[in-house]
Amino acid sequence: MKLAKAVVVPAALLLAWEFVMRSRGIESDSLAPPSQIAVAFVDAMLDGTIPRRTAETLRAALGGLAIGGGSAIIASVVLGLVPPAARLMQFSIEVLRPIPAVALIPVALLVLGFGYRMEIALVAFACFWPVLIYGHSAITNIEPQLIDVSRVLRLTPISRVTKIVLPAALPRYFVAFRLATAVSLIIAVTVEIASNPQGIGHELMAAAQSLHPDLMFALLLWIGIVGWGLNSLLLFAQRRLFGAAGAAVSASP
């Protein structure tokens, strides 16, 4: 019932869109009826354009996520376990964090040129901050008793991190990575639209520029599906792995 209600309005809009375009015989360079968009979607899927371009985008997005998020884990563990370091770095973080990753596109272009490297570098920069901030709060929010336990057990600093700190902070790190994954896709697509000639973003820009509205809308739809799919996959995993702990963290970052 809930699903039916959710579908009614979009379905009606699509039908109206189709009907108006067909009955008036509108020929447009910027708009195509839904049926043509569907055909273009299937065509681009079958001839390999969409799978190939998606693989390019995901490679850059996930590569950047791994590099940026990975280094942010290390940095956040250091900042979380050594409070003086966190206080000393605070000003630098506050100054660097507001730089929009897209403002660095020209810098990355100048230094690295077109291709994966510049895209991955920009995604990594953008993904670094949310994981750092969430990770830091994850570590400072660990039950103090757990840290006491690790002291009583006389764990070495390294096994304290791997056996106590990281497992306790894991749900928050997962949420941080879920948010960073969305960021990584956004930045990858944005960089492709703005400059980098590869991936779905570039294909979308090319379709719009060459006056193929059917393909353009099909790709827009596909980007939405990819973003939605990634997020639902991670939400599902979060529920499966962490249950109530993950939900509690999502609600109160």
Partner 1 sequence: MNPRARALWVAGSIAVTALIVVAWQLVADYGGIPPVFLPGPDRAWRALVVGFSQGELAGLTLATVKRMIYGWALASLAGIVVGALIGSSRIARDYIAPMLEMVRPVPVSAFMPVVIAFLGFSSNMVLVVIAIGAIWPVLLATVHGVSSVEPRLVEVSRSLRLGRLQTLWKIALPNSQADILAGMRIGLTVALVLAAIGEMLTSEYGLGFYILIAARGFRSADLFAGVILFGLIGLVSNLALQEIERYMLRWKRR
- Contact residues for partner 1 (CB under 8 A)? 2, 5-6, 8-10, 29-31, 87-92, 94-96, 98-107, 109-111, 182, 185-186, 189-190, 193-195, 201, 204-205, 207-209, 211, 213, 216-217, 220, 223-224, 227-228, 231
Nearer to partner 1, 90 or 159 (CB): 90
Q: Are 34 and 17 in contact (CB under 8 A)?
A: yes
φ and ψ of 197, to 5 deg: -80, 65
DSSP calls for 112-152 = H-SSHHHHHHHHHHHHHHHHHHHHHHHHHTS-HHHHHHHHH
Secondary structure (3-state) at 197: coil
In the complex, minimum distance from the CB of residue 252 to partner 1, in angstroms, rounded to a whole number: 13
Secondary structure (3-state) at 86: helix
Q: Are 171 and 153 in contact (CB under 8 A)?
A: no
In the complex, minimum distance from the CB of residue 70 to partner 1, in angstroms, rounded to a whole number: 22
Nearer to partner 1, 99 or 153 (CB): 99
C-alpha pair distances (Å), 21 with each of 8, 28, 221: 20, 9, 19
Nearer to partner 1, 169 or 191 (CB): 191
Q: Which two tokens stand for residue 55?
A: 């693989």
In the complex, minimum distance from the CB of residue 200 to partner 1, in angstroms, rounded to a whole number: 8
Nearer to partner 1, 139 or 191 (CB): 191
In the complex, minimum distance from the CB of residue 189 to partner 1, in angstroms, rounded to a whole number: 5
Nearer to partner 1, 68 or 213 (CB): 213
In the complex, minimum distance from the CB of residue 179 to partner 1, in angstroms, rounded to a whole number: 12
